[in-house]
Amino acid sequence: MIEARGLTKNYGATTAVDGLTFDVRPGMVTGFLGPNGSGKSTTMRMIMGLDHPSAGAVTVNGRRYGELPRPLCEVGGLLEAKAIHPGRSAFNHLWCLAQTNGIPRSRVNEVIELVGLRDVARRRAGTFSLGMGQRLGMAAALLGDPSVLLFDEPVNGLDPEGIRWVRNLLKGLAAEGRTVFVSSHLMSEMALTADHLIVIGRGRLIADLPVAEFIAQSSRQFVRVRSPEADRLAAALRNAGASVLSEPDGSLAVTGLPISSIGVEAGRSGVVLHELSPQAASLEEAFMELTHDSVEYRGDLLGDPALGDPAGSIPNGAR
């Protein structure tokens, strides 16, 4: 269980994390989602006692990190893939961490086995590939068999097999009743692994809800209509009470009218239809829509007024 209360971090005049309050509960994977630079890593570092909050507090299992008697046995963290001295072997890296918390040597060998690094355990970590480095980081996180696990962008740079391995590991850990908190800037990744979501943007909490609810709530449903006489059809649909948006590709995005009624209106007007299909915004679009006001750096495309007005816009290219 992780509990953040009014967690705030200022760097000079800029506020990286702004009054975050949330709980991360055991027995499920909680995704920590936000665009790059939204304060995810800073929040995770504060949870692990590496950075000091400017205000507020965060506790793990009811205590601040620094007050945990043997931190590795309660919290496992993979904050950066390479929090490892490249000149030290995988075994010695894990062993020097284990010694501090009174974890026996046999457990070091156990986690090396678990992450599949047995053959390279005596090799210098600097020679490891990104994926092997990530596995070593996972091994360090699991060393003390902790009940709370934090992973910061764990699949970054991994190949598909590595990504699948991480996903299964996260789900497995949650199924064992552990608290699993994993950050990502990819909604699609979280949709596959997370049960619950905490979404932040510019350091502020945007959403704290189950994944399913997030998807239902933020993805906009609409109907795509293609017709050679789009303008006439649009007028007819508006008369019937629908709101209609012309997409750049010539199709119409229609909301406010059930799909059957759209067909009826088309028939009544004698307009030929080439397409009549229900659409839902993809998760990635839903996420972008949710956070687009709080993205720190954004390209011109996202500054497009059609997207800048959440009330009237329908995401382009929805599938």
Partner 1 sequence: MSATSPVTTAPTSQAAGTGASPGDLSVRGVLASEWTKLRSVRSTVWSLAALAVVTIGLGALVSAVTNNRWRTFSFADRLTFDPTSRSLRGVFLAQLAIGVLGILVITSEYGTGMIRSTLSAVPNRPLVLAAKAIVFGLVALVVSEAVTFVAFLVGQSLFTSPVPHATLGQPGVLRAVVGSGLYLAVLGLLALGIGSLIRHTAGAISTFVGLLLILPLLLQAFPTSVQTALGKYLPLTIIQAMIRVQPTPKAFAPWAGLALLGGYTLVVLLAAGVLFVKRDA
Closer by beta carbon to partner 1, 111 or else 266: 111
Question: Could you tell me the smallest distance in angstroms from the CB atom of residue 109 to partner 1?
Answer: 12
The piece of 44-52, 201-209, 227-235, 283-291 that touches partner 1 (CB under 8 A) is 44-52
- Judged by CB under 8 A, the residue of 65, 151, 181, 287 near partner 1 is 65
Say which residues have a Cβ less than 8 Å from residue 174's Cβ, sequence separation at least 6.
27, 28, 29, 180, 195
- Judged by CB under 8 A, the residue of 144, 154, 203, 315 near partner 1 is 144
Alpha-carbon distance values, 307 to 9, 100, 247, 249, 285 (Å): 30, 52, 12, 16, 11
The count of residues interacting with partner 1 (CB under 8 A) is: 56
Binding-site string for partner 1 from residue 67 to residue 96, where x marks contact by CB under 8 A and - marks none: -xxxxxx-x-x-xx-xxxxxxxx--xx-xx
Closer by beta carbon to partner 1, 79 or else 120: 79
Binding-site string for partner 1 from residue 251 to residue 290, where x marks contact by CB under 8 A and - marks none: ----------------------------------------
Say which residues have a Cβ less than 8 Å from residue 129's Cβ, sequence separation at least 6.
none
Rounded to a whole number of angstroms, the distance between the first and last alpha carbons of the chain is 37
Contacts of 86-91 spanning 24+ positions with Cβ under 8 A:
86/124, 86/125, 86/126, 87/124, 87/125, 87/126, 88/124, 88/125, 89/121, 89/122, 89/123, 89/124, 89/125, 90/117, 90/120, 90/121, 90/122, 90/123, 90/125, 90/128, 90/136, 90/139, 91/121, 91/122
The piece of 66-74, 239-247, 264-272, 274-282 that touches partner 1 (CB under 8 A) is 66-74
**Please, which residues bridge with residue 214 across strands?**
none
- Judged by CB under 8 A, the residue of 57, 175, 264, 306 near partner 1 is 175
The piece of 158-166, 228-236, 268-276, 288-296 that touches partner 1 (CB under 8 A) is 158-166
Closer by beta carbon to partner 1, 118 or else 164: 164
Closer by beta carbon to partner 1, 71 or else 315: 71
Closest by CA position to 114, among listed 90, 92, 97: 90
Closest by CA position to 189, among listed 207, 171, 216, 208: 171
- Judged by CB under 8 A, the residue of 1, 21, 36, 104 near partner 1 is 104
Q: With beta carbons less than 8 A apart as the criterion, state whether 34 and 185 touch.
A: yes
Question: Could you tell me the smallest distance in angstroms from the CB atom of residue 310 to partner 1?
Answer: 36
Instruction: Name the residues that contact partner 1, by CB under 8 A.
Output: 45, 48-52, 65-66, 68-73, 75, 77, 79-80, 82-89, 92-93, 95-97, 99-104, 107, 110-111, 114, 116, 140, 142, 144-145, 161, 164-165, 168-169, 171-173, 175-176
